[in-house]
Amino acid sequence: MRIATWNVNSVRQRVEALVGYLRTVQPDVLCLQELKCLEEQFPRLEVEAAGYNVAIHGQKSYNGVAILSKAPMEIAVGLPGDENDAQSRYIEAVIPWGKTALRVGCLYLPNGNPLGADKYDYKLAWMDRLIAHARKLLSYEERLVLCGDYNVIPDARDVYDPESWLGDALYAPPTRQKFRELLALGFTDALRATTDAPKQYTFWDYQAGAWQKNNGLRIDHLLLSPQAADRLESVAIDRDMRARDKPSDHVPIRVDLKA
């Protein structure tokens, strides 16, 4: 089972790249973030023609998440814990896998900048809600992958210049502490289960030649429940996607889980 996640940064601008990725890499499941469109604006026909079922939680101009799956899905939309939260940042699917099933949570965690303002309070509160929901999901003892753009730099080796990011919401100590709380529930960071190497980046800013200088960040993560981690075979970052014409500033990262 191949599960990938990709912050596509405006899906309508990346239709050709998206369909090409589906046809070439053939993920069984692809989670998308930052769609920046409503459900009716999503390129459903092109994705379905590539052989995928589509579940979308869209929002005009901002946010938006989707799960694409070769198999049918049972879908739940929205992160529990705040009925007044109107931002489209979470979608969850249960997908058949042999005699059992895989549960996938696709998330687009808030950026949170600047520190000390309402946006950062929202980020931390959203992370608390995610921790509470993840604790409930783990209690099901299922094969679970919780993936997406976390907007969290977990460690110094995950950023090109750690000192310069200490005042940023992606790397601030409270942010990293919340991420560690999430991991401590029993999740495995899929990439770090396979390598300790630095510079395993998934994001390069469009500004200041960040891609050319390899000034990157690792902020897109796949977290595995114990039942999924037991089946982990490999992890790959599809860096080549960043070098193409009109790329997203993020690239896909994927795991292969054995049957």
Whether 33 contacts 62, CB under 8 Å:
no
Q: Give Cα separations from 129 to 54, 133, 223 (angstroms).
A: 25, 6, 16
Catalytic residue among 149, 189, 220, 249, which? Answer: 149
Catalytic residue among 21, 108, 120, 171, which? Answer: 108
Q: Give Cα separations from 250 to 32, 39, 190, 205, 244 (angstroms).
A: 11, 22, 18, 8, 12
Token digits of residue 136: 């409930």
CA distance 16 to 144: 30
Quick one: DSSP state of residue 115? Answer: T
Instruction: Let me know if 150 is a catalytic residue.
Output: no
Instruction: Let me know if 122 is a catalytic residue.
Output: no
Residues comprising the chain, all counted: 259
CA distance 181 to 187: 10
Active site residues: 108, 149
